[in-house]
């Protein structure tokens, strides 16, 4: 019997790490994609550009592409309106509500979970503190409702896949479900190793608060004899430029060839965020460039302390300065080709091989189970 598969993703309005995962899954199966909101402009130049994409009523709501977060209370209801009754296997790519689609007992549901919905779980109290009185009350009510729905909807998933061990632990904590770890795809093949490093450090990322680029900028502003290049754009840029000294240079958003050159030539890549996985540190390693990173989250799994980089224990200026000095003491011990070899463990090819094998295995197990029980 032919297996008909459907893909479900939260929304397709930007193209980030979660969308890169969906892109590779789509290339494996070429299945129809269902999502709450999408913008074709965001998919230009990607493998999803010509995909068959369907939405429920949400994509027709006013300002759905620019103000979609205003409709947050509708998300659980909306995702349950997606009709997947024509498919044998449903594969959801979820960091919010995609895993909550409704499936029958004879349909297999595999969820690639980027994280349980962080704003109502991990980030709840930090977001709460930023709001005024009225917004706090509304946020409390919505979050409470979301946590109940999110926990219940997790039971609709037959198998969870996590993008890192830290997310796997989070899935267990929130849903009490085990998750197979399959690291997300990184375009390792798009980067080349350079053994010739120049006298500057680099950091790359969206200039938003949780990336903690402010700590990196402050650290290098105190180490005025060291140069830092900051690549990326975002609402924090103006504030970061104000707190920086003359040895810190902001390039904004740059074309990929320029980004690659800076990653190849830098002494080290500096990273202070706690990410679920973190693609940029792997891209730096694909260039043979050591990484100086905060040891929590995905970097604790992608950076080998003392071999492909230096990990620091606290998100603080002082710890970053100590880590940079420790790196410089051991700089000659880092082998660019060993660093590259570590990055190759997270390649697109490795992801596709592992994910395809997992899906086929679970489809066969599900088929045999149905035959055993006579369904």
Q: Could you give the CA distance from residue 346 to residue 20 in angstroms, rounded to a whole number?
A: 13
The secondary element (H helix, E strand) that includes residue 165 is: helix 165-175
Q: For all residues of the chain together, what is the average pLDDT? A: 94
Q: Looking at residue 330, which CATH number applies to its domain?
A: 3.40.50.2000
**Same domain flag for 74 and 205:** no
Using one digit for the tens of pLDDT, what is the confidence trace for 34-80? 999 999 899 999 999 999 999 999 999 999 988 998 899 999 999 99
Using one digit for the tens of pLDDT, what is the confidence trace for 215-260? 999 999 999 999 999 999 999 999 999 999 999 999 999 999 999 9
Query: Do β-strands 5-9 and 89-94 pair in parallel, antiparallel, or remain unpaired?
Result: parallel
The pLDDT of residue 370 is above 90: no
**Same domain flag for 103 and 126:** yes
pLDDT of residue 140: 87
The pLDDT of residue 131 is above 90: no
**Same domain flag for 19 and 64:** yes
Question: Comparing C-alpha atoms, which of 226, 116, 105, 237 is closest to residue 167?
Answer: 116
**Same domain flag for 176 and 268:** no
* Domain interval for residue 263: 188-346
The distance of Cα 43 from the centroid of its chain, to the nearest Å, equals: 17
pLDDT of residue 139: 80
**Same domain flag for 78 and 168:** yes
pLDDT of residue 214: 97
> What stretches of 10-166 adopt beta strand conformation (E)?
33-35, 53-54, 89-94, 108-113, 159-162
Q: Looking at residue 369, which CATH number applies to its domain?
A: 3.40.50
pLDDT of residue 195: 93
Cβ atoms of residues 31 and 113 within 8 Å: no
Does 124 or 101 have the greater pLDDT score?
A: 101
**Same domain flag for 333 and 198:** yes
**Residue in this structure with the two tokens 């754009």, named with its chain if needed:** 233
pLDDT of residue 120: 79
**Same domain flag for 181 and 284:** no
pLDDT of residue 48: 95
The pLDDT of residue 1 is above 70: no
> What predicted TM-score, i.e. pTM, was given to this entire model?
0.88
Structure tokens at 253: 């958003």
**Same domain flag for 113 and 200:** no
| Distance, first Cα to last Cα, the chain | 15
**Same domain flag for 87 and 169:** yes
Total domain count for the chain?
A: 2
Order of strands across the sheet that contains 248-252: 248-252, 228-231, 201-204, 268-271, 291-294, 309-312
Q: 193-230: string of b/e by CB count within 10 Å (b at 16+)?
A: bbeebeebbbbbbbbeeebbbbbbbbbbbebeebbbbb
**Same domain flag for 271 and 356:** no
The pLDDT of residue 375 is above 70: no
**Same domain flag for 236 and 250:** yes
pLDDT of residue 177: 97
**Same domain flag for 126 and 255:** no
Structure tokens at 161: 């896949």
Q: Could you give the CA distance from residue 55 to residue 269 in angstroms, rounded to a whole number?
A: 40
The pLDDT of residue 373 is above 90: no
């Amino acid at each position: 019997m032919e297996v008909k598969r459907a893909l479900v993703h939260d929304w397709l309005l930007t193209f980030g790490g979660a969308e890169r995962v969906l892109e590779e899954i789509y290339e494996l199966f070429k299945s129809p994609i269902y999502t709450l909101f999408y913008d074709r402009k965001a998919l230009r130049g990607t493998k999803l550009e010509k995909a068959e994409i369907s939405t429920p009523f949400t994509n027709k709501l006013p300002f759905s592409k620019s103000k979609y977060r205003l409709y947050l209370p509708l998300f659980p209801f909306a995702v349950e309106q997606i009709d997947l009754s024509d498919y044998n296997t449903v594969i959801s790519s979820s960091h919010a509500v995609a895993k909550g689609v409704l499936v029958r007992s004879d349909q297999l549901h595999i969820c690639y979970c980027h994280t349980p919905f962080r704003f109502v779980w991990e980030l709840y109290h930090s977001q709460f503190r930023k709001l005024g009185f009225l917004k706090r009350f509304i946020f409390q009510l919505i979050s409470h409702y979301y946590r109940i729905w999110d926990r219940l909807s997790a039971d609709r998933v037959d198998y969870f896949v996590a993008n890192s061990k830290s997310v796997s632990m989070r899935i267990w904590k929130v849903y009490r479900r085990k998750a197979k770890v399959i690291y997300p795809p990184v375009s390792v093949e798009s980067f080349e190793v350079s053994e010739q490093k120049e006298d500057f450090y680099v950091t790359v990322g969206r200039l938003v608060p949780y990336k903690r680029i402010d700590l990196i900028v402050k650290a290098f502003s105190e180490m005025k004899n060291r140069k830092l290049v900051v690549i990326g754009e975002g609402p924090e840029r103006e504030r970061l430029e104000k707190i920086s000294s003359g040895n810190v240079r902001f390039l904004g958003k740059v074309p990929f060839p320029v980004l690659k050159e800076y990653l190849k030539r830098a002494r080290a890549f500096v990273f202070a965020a706690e990410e679920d996985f973190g693609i940029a540190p792997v891209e730096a390693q694909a260039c043979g460039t050591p990484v100086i990173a905060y040891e929590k989250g995905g970097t604790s799994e992608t950076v080998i302390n003392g071999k492909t980089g230096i990990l620091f224990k606290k998100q603080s200026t002082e710890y970053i300065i100590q880590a940079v000095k420790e790196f410089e003491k051991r700089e000659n011990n880092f082998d660019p080709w060993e660093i590259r070899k570590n990055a190759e463990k997270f390649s697109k090819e490795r992801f596709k091989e592992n994910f395809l094998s997992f899906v086929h295995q679970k489809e066969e197990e599900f088929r045999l189970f149905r035959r055993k029980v006579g369904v």
